Chains A and B, each alone.
Chain A
Amino acid sequence: MNHSEAQSEKRAAMPRAKQLPNGPAAAAILSAAAGCAFVGILSVVAGASKPIAKVLTFYLPTGSLSGVSSVAILLWLATWVILAKRWRIRTVAIGKVNAMAFLLLALGILLTFPPFAEFLHGN
C-alpha cells in the first residue's frame, strides 16, 4: 500500500459529518458568556463592598481577584455542566441563545471597564 492509499484509508476511517444537535454548542456558548458576566459582576461587587472583597480574598497576596476569578470559573463550569446535560441531544433555538449570550458577554466586558464600575460605585 503506497502513502496516498494509506492516507485515504485513514481519512475514510474518520467520522463523517453527521447531524449533530446544536444543544452542546449552545450550552458551551451560553455558559461561557455567563462566565464572562460572572467575572464582571463579582469584580463590581468586590469593588463596592469591603466585607465581600474580604470574603473573596482566597489568597491574600492576590487579594479579592483570587476569589472573583475562582468563583466566576466555578460558576461558569457548573453552568456548562448543567446546560450540557440538559441540551446534550436537543436542538435549541440558537438565535435566542446567541442573543442572550451576547447580552451577557457585553455585560461582562462593560462591568470590567473601570470607568463604568466607578460609575456604578457612585464615584
Chain B
Amino acid sequence: MEITLRALITMIHGMLFGAFFLMATYGLVVELSRSEYVELPQQLTVRGYSRERLYLVGMVALGWAAVLTGAYIIYPWYRAVPPAGVTDLALYPRYLLKSSATTSGWHDLGMEWKEHVAWIAPIIMTMVAYVFAKYRLSMQEHPQVRKAVLAFALTAFGAAGVAGFFGAMINKYAPVNGGPTIRLMGKSQ
C-alpha cells in the first residue's frame, strides 16, 4: 500500500485540518445555539476552562492550517504549468480539468470559489472563539452579540463546507499527485 507525498499532504490538508475544523465549528455552533436556552451561565472548573480554551485554540489552529497548507503547499502543485509538449496532464490538475468541457466547471466555479471563500472561515472562527471565550459568562446579557456570532459561525461553517466539497470533488476528478512514493505497508512492486 503506497501513497505519493503530494497525495498524503493533500489528505492531511482536507481530511485532518479541513474535516476536523468543520467538526469543531459545528460543535461551537451547537454550543452557541444551546446557550440561548440556558437559564444560568455555566461556570466551569479551572480545568474545564483550560480544556475549553484548548478546544477553541485547536479549532482556530485547524482552520488556519487548512487554508495555509492549501494555499502555499497544495495550490502550487494544482496550478503548475505543464512544460511544452507534455500530453499527459496527470501531474497538472488545473490543466487536466480545463482540458475537457465536462470537467472545466470544477476549476472555473469550484476552485475559483474555493480558493477565496475558504479564507472567510478561519477569519470568522477566530472572532467567534475570541467572543465566546470573553463573553462566556455574560452572553445572555448580550443577546444581539450572541445572535450575530451564531450567524457568523453558521456562515463560516457554510464557507468551509463549500471549500471542503469542491476540494473533495476536484481531487476526485483531478487528484493532486506526484513526488516521492511512501510505502505504508506491504512490499513495493
Give the B-binding residues of A (Cβ under 8 A). 7, 10-11, 13-20, 22, 24-26, 28-29, 31-33, 35-36, 39-40, 43, 59, 61-63, 65-66, 68-69, 72-73, 76, 94-95, 98, 101-102, 105, 108-109, 112-115, 117
What A residues does B119 contact at CB under 8 A?
Answer: 39, 69, 72-73
Cross-chain contact A94 with B145 (CB below 8 angstroms): yes
Cross-chain contact B113 with A61 (CB below 8 angstroms): no
Label chain A's interface by main secondary structure: helix
What A residues does B155 contact at CB under 8 A?
Answer: 105, 109
The CA-CA distance from A61 to B46 in the complex, in Å, is 46
Known A-B contacts A11-B45, A18-B138, A62-B71; A29 and B145 likewise in contact (beta carbons under 8 Å): yes
What B residues does A94 contact at CB under 8 A?
Answer: 142, 144-145, 148
The CA-CA distance from A62 to B115 in the complex, in Å, is 10
Answer yes or no: B91 CB below 8 A from chain A CBs.
no
Known A-B contacts A13-B46, A69-B67, A76-B123; A114 and B112 likewise in contact (beta carbons under 8 Å): yes
